[in-house]
Amino acid sequence: MDGLILINKTSELTSHDVVQRIRKIIKFKKVGHFGILDPLSTGLLIIGVGKATRLFPFYSKMDKTYEGEITLGFATNTYDSSGTPTSAAQKNFPQESILLKEMKKFEGEIIQIPPPFSAKKYKGKPLYALARKKKKFELRPTKVFVHSFELLDFKPPYLFFRIRCSSGTYIRSIAHSLGENLGCGAHLSSLTRTEIGEFKLQDAFKLDEISRIAAEGRLKECLFPLESILPQFPKIILLKKGEELVKNGQMITQQHILRIMEGSRQNSSEEFLSEYEIFRLFNPEGKIIALGRRLPGKRVLHPFLVF
């Protein structure tokens, strides 16, 4: 069993909890998630099964979209509603025009400091473990990119938003910094992840649905097979000789290729190999067998991930 399962995570569950439950439901050990959601957060979680777990480097770096609620008036030590207040409650809230102006400042490339209570590692240990023991550590700023930060509704002290951002962006940190900039304090009070790359929340299943479908023997209906994954990379159908070379981790050239597909477009020209860096490699029977990377300046493909 190889592929991806989209899960609609409920609150209170950790991402690890979801992985453990999926393992029990499908009776398969090789299961992993492609990007953590905080326990209080809900929404889209991508689960890799079997050989698909090796695709973590691709999906963990994809842009993500969230919708949520920020509460103005006070900050917390966790930057969300699970923490204790770190500032006195205020009731002087900004006008919507000022709020929109401050939200706009978070768009583009920004430098942010991760929350002290987070899974980010410091000297090999997660920050939350150090923070709970009240140990001192340095919070290092990181660069992230925010494509858009939209205000959906404003009912003081609550503001409802949608944000599309790069992987590694802490929405809790944005909420905390927004409160600092507005001078009234703020924290994240709810968050739902709605998109990861091309995957959307409306196509995800809740754990009880997965359990029922698996019990009915229809689990394949929930699985995105390896052959459908990473459609942004062109598809190469190999000749039998090319398949043999790839399985042994050896280079392939134009003479080992039956045809090249980019979406619905077929291209068999040698020049096509110079247009892209990564390709999905399929055997003549239509099964994906590897991902190949073009060597710089050459029309030779190296199978860097062989399934």
Q: Is the pLDDT of residue 19 over 80?
A: yes
pLDDT of residue 261: 79
User: What pTM was estimated for this model as a whole?
Assistant: 0.87
pLDDT of residue 18: 95
Question: Cis bond leading into 157, ω under 30°?
Answer: yes
Query: Tell me: the pLDDT tens digits for 126-160?
Result: 555 544 545 565 667 889 999 999 999 999 999 99
pLDDT of residue 130: 43
Task: Sketch out the chain's domains with CATH numbers.
Answer: 3-61+199-227 (3.30.2350.10), 64-196 (3.30.2350.10), 230-306 (2.30.130.10)
Mean pLDDT of 106-123: 76
118 — pLDDT class (breaks 50, 70, 90): low
Three-state secondary structure string covering the chain: CCEEEEEEECCCCCHHHHHHHHHHHHCCCCEEECCCCCCCCEEEEEEEEHHHHHHHHHHCCCCEEEEEEEEECCCECCCECCCCECCCCCCCCCCHHHHHHHHHCCCEEEEECCCCCCCCEECCEEHHHHHHCCCCCCCCCEEEEEEEEEEEEEECCEEEEEEEECCCCCHHHHHHHHHHHHCCCEEEEEEEEEEECCEEHHHCECHHHHHHHHHCCCHHHHEEEHHHCCCCCCEEEECHHHHHHHHCCCCECHHHEEEEEECCEEECCHHHHHCCCEEEEECCCCCEEEEEEECCCCCCEEEEEEC
Rounded Cα gap, residues 54 and 289, in angstroms = 13
Query: Tell me: the pLDDT tens digits for 206-261?
Result: 999 999 999 999 998 899 999 998 988 999 999 999 999 999 999 998 899 988 87
**Mean pLDDT score of the chain:** 88
Mean pLDDT of 287-292: 94
Q: Is the pLDDT of residue 76 over 60?
A: yes
Query: Tell me: the pLDDT tens digits for 154-207?
Result: 999 999 999 999 998 999 999 999 999 999 999 999 999 999 998 999 999 999
> Catalytic amino acids?
38
pLDDT of residue 120: 56
pLDDT of residue 121: 52
Spatial CB neighbours of 227, under 8 Å, sequence gap ≥ 6: 282, 286, 287, 288
pLDDT of residue 20: 95
